[in-house]
Structure 1
Amino acid sequence: MSRPSPTPIYTLRGAAAPLNTLHFSCQEGSQPLLFSGSGKGSVHVWNLDSRRAERVLDGHSGSSVIWVSTLQSTGALLSQGRDMRVCLWDLSEGRAEVSDSLWTGSVGFCQCSSLETGQGAWLLACPGEQTEEIKIIAFPSKKVMCSLLPDAKLGMVMCLRLWQPDAGPGPLLLAGYEDGSLLLWDVSQRRALSRASSTCPEPLMCLAFDPQRMRGVSGSSDNNLRPWALDENRNLQLQDPVALVNPGVSQLCIRGDGKLLASAGWDHRVRVFGWKRLRPLAVLQHHTDMVLGVAFSDHRDPRRRLLAAASKDQRISLWSIYNEGPDTG
C-alpha cells in the first residue's frame, strides 16, 4: 500500500504578510529557531518549541525581506531587503540590534550568498548596481574583493551560490541569469570557468548545489527542473530535465544529508524528491497561495529534522518527513 499523503505537524501564523524566505538555526546547546523574512520588511524569529515568534525585527523600512541566513561562527543574523540593504543583526543576550549594514544598489530579487572564511570573517556575494554585476565583499572590513561581469549579455543575475571546494583554490560561485544561462566563476581569478545555456530561455529563478556530489539543479518559470553537474575539469554539464505537473519554482533546497530535494511551487505545493535520482517522493498540499521558500533544518537528531515552507498566504508549514531509512532514492 502507498503511504498516506503527509500533513504538516503544525503551522506558524501571525506574520500578517507574504513570507518570502526561511532559514533554520539548530546549533548544539542553543534553542532551535526558524527565521522568516516577510513582504512587509520584518524578520520573525520563531521558537520551534513554543511555536511562537519570540522576536520581530524591523530593519528594512517596510521593504520586502528576500533572504535571511546566520553565521555559524558568531550566531549573527543576516537579512537582505528590497531597500537595497543587507543588515547584520546582533541577537546575543536578548539583543535585537542592527550592528552593521551594507548598501548593495540592487533593485532585483536575487538573494545574496555568504561563505564563512574564519572566526567572524566571511564573504558575501550580492547583486550589484549594474544588471549583470555580482560583487564579492569581505567582512568585517566590507572591502569589495571583486566585481564579476560576464562577457556576453545574459540579462539580470537571478540566483547565486558561493562555496569553497575541498581541493584547489577558491572560492567558486555559481550564478544563474535572466536568459537561462548558468555560470561557474572562479572568484580569486575573477573569471568565468564554465557556462551552460538551457534550451529553454526562461530566467533561472533559483538553484541548489551539492558540493559533495558536485551536482546541482535549477528551477524557472516553466515546468521543468534542470539538473546539472561539474566534471573533473569544472565544466558544467546539463542533464536530462525532470518534468513537473505545473510550471513555476520559487526556490530549491537540498537537505544536509544529501538525500532529499524540496521545491517551492507556484501551484501552492511543495514537492519532495530523492536527490540521488530525482525520483518524486511526495507532494505536500497545504497552502492556498504560491509557496515562495523552503528550508530543511540542520538538527543533530535526525528525528527532529523538519522541512519548512513559506507561502504568500502568510503561513509557514512545518513537516517531518523521510527522517528514517538509509536511502530515499
Structure 2
Amino acid sequence: MMVKKEMSGRRAPSPPDPIAVLRGHRSSIMDVCFHHSRSLLFTGDSDGELRLWNSIEHRTISSTRAHGGASGVYTVATNPSIGDKLVSQGRDGTCKYWDILEDGSLSRNPLLTLKTSGYHFCKLSLVKTPTYFVEPGHASDGSACERLKLMALAGEDASQVEIWDLDSAKRVACLPNFHENSVHPVKSRGMCMSVQAFSHSQSQGSLNILAGYEDGSMIWWDMRNPGVPLSSVKFHDDAVLSMCLDSSCYGGISGAADNKTILFTLDSQLGTCSMKKEIILERPGVAGTSLRLDNKICATAGWDQRIRIYNYRKGSALAILKYHNATCNSVAFSTNCKLLASCSEDTTVALWEIYPHTSKDSKGKLPKEEPVH
C-alpha cells in the first residue's frame, strides 16, 4: 500500500494499516528478522520462545522453547554468511546455533550452544557484507567479501566486544583487550549496548566492528589493527541502543535512549565516522533500526509505540506507522524489499507494505511523497 502525495486542497491520507498481524506469542516480542532467501520470519520473546512464521501465508510453522526459564530470547539473527542457519541469543548467558530444515522448522536441538556468559541486552551481530539488490528473476552479484561465520556481542565484561567463531564455538578475539587490573578508557564509556560486525571491499575481507556505548559514543575497529580504533565519535547523548549499516557497509543509522536518530557515513580510507543527518524526535527512545537492501528507505522502532519511515538518502520523514499499543522493540525489512516487520511488547508482529520496490518510477527513484504524521 502506498502513501500517496497530498492532492491540492485535500488532507494528506492516513498512513497504511498492516497487511497482517501475527499473533501467537504470550509475552513481549524482543526481536524479529527475515530469512535472507526464503519466505520465513523469525521472532523471539521475553519468555524464551523462538517462533518461525511463513511470511506469505501469515501462519506459524514451528515454535520452540529456545532459552529456558524467564531468560528470554532477545536476538534472532540469520544472514547469507551462515546459510540455512539461525542464531538465537538469550539472557541465560548462551547463544544457540540452529539448523533450518526444508519445511522451515528448526532442528529439534541446537547444533551448538555457546556459553558466552553475557547477561545484558546488547543484541549480537552476524557479519554484514556488501550486498546488492537486483530485480526478481535476475542473478545476484552476491557478497563482495569473503563469507565469515563469526558473530560479535557484548562480552562477559559488558564494556568489551567479543568475537566468536560459530564453527568452533570458541571466542577468538576481544575488543579492547584489557590487561589484568588495568584501567582502560573504554570502560569509562559504560556498557556496550549495540554492535555491528561487517566487512567491506576496502577492508580486504578483514572484520570490522562498530560498537555503541552507554554514554552515547560509538567506536569503530578494523581487526587488522585491533589495538587502536579507527574512529571514536559521540553523536548521541544517551545509550546507543541500535545500529544498522546499509548494503554497501559505508554508512548507516543509529537509534538511542535520547531523542535523536542519526544517519552516518563511514570512510575507511580516512578512518572517519561522520554524521550525515541528525533527526530530532518529539519523544526519546529508539530500540530498533533497519535499512532496506536498496538503500532507499530506513525504519525505526520507538518506545512511543510508533514505527517511523525515512528517506535514507535525504533523511526526510516519510511516514509514521501506528498499530502497536506498547513499546516497539525491533523492525526489519525483507530481502526482496516488499515487506517490513515490526514487533512490540504488545505480543504482536505487524507486517507492512511501505513504498514497495515495485512502485519506483522509470528511473528507479522513490515517488515524491509528503510526510505523513
Gaps of 5+ in 2: 1-6, 129-144, 177-183, 369-373
Compute the displacement of 1:272 (Å).
0.3
Q: How does 1:1-329 map to 2 (within 5 A)?
A: 1=7, 2-25=12-35, 27=37, 30=38, 32-62=39-69, 63-72=71-80, 73-93=82-102, 95-115=107-127, 122-149=149-176, 151-152=185-186, 153-169=188-204, 170-191=206-227, 192-198=229-235, 200-210=236-246, 212=248, 214-231=250-267, 232-299=269-336, 305-323=338-356, 324-325=359-360, 326-328=364-366
C-alpha deviation, 1:51, in angstroms: 1.4
Distance 1:15 1:213, change over 3 A: closer
TM-score, length-scaled by structure 1? 0.91
Q: Tell whether the 8 Å contact from 1:146 to 1:187 is kept in structure 2 after alignment.
A: no
CA displacement, residues 127-179 of structure 1 (integer Å, 9 cap, x when unaligned)? 11112111112231133221102633210000011111112342111000011
Shift in Å at residue 26 of structure 1?
Answer: 5.0
Is residue 152–residue 197 contact of structure 2 (8 Å, CA) maintained in 1? yes
Shift of 1:49: 3.1
User: Contact between 1:104 and 1:127, CA under 8 Å: does it hold in 2?
Assistant: no
CA–CA separation in structure 2 for the residues paired with 1:195 and 1:115: 20
| 1:268-291 alpha-carbon deviations (Å, 9 max, x no partner) | 110000100111001000111111
8 Å contact 1:146–1:190 — kept in the other structure? no
- Higher strand proportion (structure 1 or 2): 1
Distance (whole Å) between structure 2 residues aligned to residue 26 and residue 215 of structure 1: 20
Residues 160-218 of structure 1 deviation map (CA, whole Å, 9 limit, x = unaligned):
111111123421110000111100011232131110023x5311111121252722221
**TM superposition shift of 1:52:** 1.6
Equivalenced residues, count: 320
Q: CA deviation at 1:221?
A: 1.6
In 2, the alpha carbon distance for the partners of 1:102 and 1:276 equals: 38
Residue identity matched to 1:151: P
Q: Which amino acid aligns with 1:41?
A: G
Deviations 1:238-280 (A, max 9, x none): 3442111221100110001101110001111100001001110
**Which range moved further: 319-328 or 86-95?**
86-95
Q: Is the 8 A contact 1:110 1:127 kept in 2?
A: yes
Q: Hey, what's the Cα distance between the residues in 1 that align with 2:197 and 2:307?
A: 25
Contact 1:110 1:158 in 2 (8 A): yes
Residue 216 to residue 50, structure 1, CA distance change in 2 (3 Å): closer
Q: Distance in 1 between matches of 2:277 and 2:296?
A: 19
TM-score, normalised to structure 2, is: 0.81
The one-letter code matched in structure 1 to 2:352 is W
Secondary structure of 2:233's partner? strand
Paired residue secondary structure (1:98): coil
Query: Secondary structure at 1:45's aligned position in 2?
Result: strand
Sort the Cα spacing of 1:49 and 1:236 in 2 relative to 1 into closer, same or farther, 3 A. Answer: closer
Q: Distance in 2 between matches of 1:71 and 1:98?
A: 17
Q: CA 1:233 to 1:21, structure 2 compared with 1: closer, same or farther past 3 Å?
A: same
Distance 1:11 1:37, change over 3 A: same
Aligned-residue sequence identity (percent) comes to 31
**1:178, 1:203 within 8 Å by CA — same for their partners in 2?**
yes
C-alpha displacement of 1:76: 1.0
**How far apart are 1:91 and its partner, in Å?**
2.7
Deviation at residue 234 of structure 1 after TM alignment? 2.1
**Cα separation, 1, equivalents of 2:353 and 2:49:** 26
Q: Which one-letter code corresponds to 1:101 in the other structure?
A: T
In 1, distance between residues paired with 2:308 and 2:234?
25
What SS does the corresponding residue of 1:6 show, helix, strand or coil?
Answer: coil
Alignment partners' CA distance in 2, 1:168 and 1:115: 13
Name stretches of at least 5 consecutive residues in structure 1 with no aligned partner: none
Q: Secondary structure at the match of 1:241?
A: strand
